[in-house]
């Protein structure tokens, strides 16, 4: 029985993979978070992975606090780059398949057309810089690895934009949301299903792939969709990024082109609003 090691097992994507794993009992699933597999312990990381001895690694772990990363550059680099290099080296040497999850924040946001996997990278914040370094280290140490770039991840698990907006729209009369950053949200359950489709499929094509839900929207339009589906009585105002300064700059445009992953693996990419409805329905049932 093949062993699948998931890092970042308590995060949004790890949690969604955990839900789906129950339907794939042909694998032994090992979900770890920092308590079980500390990626910051670089000196012992290879030894600790060897103790688990997986045939497949899905690296969902990352330092994803984008604003915090600006002041925690060292930690961000350890998690997003140095640990990835070690995992990639180990997986290549042990003939272990590796799927590493990356981000749209490797781009500067100056494009006006959907970004494919060949688009020029130029991160504008520490998170993006360390994630890009992780991508490069991953492919250098394991040219057989698959990297999946995703964007604006949300889920019924963890903290995210959908849950925060849903709560605030019930607490406040009005909200201001940035309207000049365009991309597409990703329901973590859809990404988890895409990853499992790749693992269980009969084709392994190394390289970088994009995955997010279909649709091009701003955070403001995302908030309006949440308001509409949740039937929240709250006024939503669109504001510019300059009116909402944050420690880390965000790309103004990071819409991902999903053509390659659909062609290579036959992955289904749902429309963002359909997935948002599913997630919000789930949130209603668990509240």
Is residue 240 situated within a structural domain?
Answer: no
The residues assigned a catalytic role are: 127
Residue 149 sits in a domain whose CATH number is: 3.40.50.720
Prediction pTM value: 0.97
3-state class of 157 per DSSP?
A: coil
Summarised one tens digit per residue, pLDDT across range 199-217 is 999 999 999 999 999 999 9
Mean pLDDT value across residues 185-202: 97
Is residue 195 situated within a structural domain?
Answer: yes
How many structural domains compose the chain?
1
Residue 79: predicted pLDDT: 97
Is residue 171 situated within a structural domain?
Answer: no
Residue 286: predicted pLDDT: 65
Q: How confident is the prediction for the chain on average, in pLDDT?
A: 97
Name every residue whose Cβ is closer than 8 Å to that of residue 189 and which is 6 or more positions away in sequence.
Answer: 16, 19, 20, 155, 275, 278, 279
Q: Helices in the chain by DSSP H: which ranges?
A: 12-21, 42-52, 66-69, 73-77, 83-93, 126-141, 161-171, 188-200, 219-230, 259-265, 272-286
Is residue 69 situated within a structural domain?
Answer: yes
Q: Which domain holds residue 102?
A: 2-160+185-214+254-270
At residue 285 the predicted structure's pLDDT band, cuts being 50, 70 and 90, is confident
Summarised one tens digit per residue, pLDDT across range 110-168 is 999 999 999 999 999 999 999 999 999 999 999 999 999 999 999 999 999 999 999 99
Name the DSSP class of 287: -
Is residue 287 situated within a structural domain?
Answer: no
Contact 280, 229 (CB under 8 A): yes
Using DSSP bridges, classify how beta strands 217-218 and 182-183 pair: parallel, antiparallel or unpaired.
Answer: antiparallel
Summarised one tens digit per residue, pLDDT across range 3-40 is 999 999 999 999 999 999 999 999 999 999 999 999 99
Distance from C-alpha of 258 to C-alpha of 186, rounded to nearest angstrom: 12
Mean pLDDT value across residues 99-115: 97
Distance from C-alpha of 233 to C-alpha of 161, rounded to nearest angstrom: 18
* β-strand partners of 5: 30, 57
CA-closest candidate to residue 190, choices 9, 16, 29: 16
Summarised one tens digit per residue, pLDDT across range 48-82 is 999 999 999 999 999 999 999 999 999 999 999 99
Contact 255, 204 (CB under 8 A): no
Is residue 224 situated within a structural domain?
Answer: no
Residue 287: predicted pLDDT: 57
């Amino acid at each position: 029985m093949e062993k699948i090691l998931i890092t970042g097992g308590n995060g949004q994507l790890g949690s969604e993979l955990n839900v789906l794993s129950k339907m794939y009992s042909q694998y032994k699933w090992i979900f770890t978070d920092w308590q079980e597999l500390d990626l910051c312990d670089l000196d012992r990381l290879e030894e600790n992975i060897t103790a688990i001895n997986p045939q497949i690694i899905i690296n969902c772990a990352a330092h994803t606090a984008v604003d915090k990363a600006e002041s925690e550059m060292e930690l961000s680099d350890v998690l997003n780059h140095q640990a990835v290099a070690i995992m990639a080296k180990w997986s290549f040497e042990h003939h272990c398949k590796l799927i590493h999850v990356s981000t749209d924040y490797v781009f500067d946001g100056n494009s006006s057309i959907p970004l494919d996997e060949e688009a020029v990278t130029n991160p504008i914040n520490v998170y993006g810089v360390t994630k890009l370094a992780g991508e490069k280290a991953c492919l250098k140490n394991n040219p057989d690895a698959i990297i999946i770039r995703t964007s604006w991840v949300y889920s019924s698990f963890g903290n995210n934009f959908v849950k925060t907006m849903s709560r605030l729209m019930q607490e406040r009369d009005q909200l201001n949301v940035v309207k000049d950053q365009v991309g597409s949200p990703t329901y973590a359950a859809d990404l988890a299903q895409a990853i499992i489709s790749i693992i269980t499929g009969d084709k392994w094509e190394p390289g970088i792939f994009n995955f997010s839900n279909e649709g091009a929207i701003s955070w403001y339009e995302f908030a309006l969709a949440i308001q509409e589906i949740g039937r929240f009585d709250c006024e939503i105002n669109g504001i510019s990024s300059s009116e909402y300064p944050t420690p880390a700059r965000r790309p103004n445009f990071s819409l991902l082109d999903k053509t390659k992953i659909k062609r290579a693996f036959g992955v289904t990419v749902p429309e963002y609003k359909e997935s948002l409805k599913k997630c919000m329905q789930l949130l209603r049932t668990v509240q």
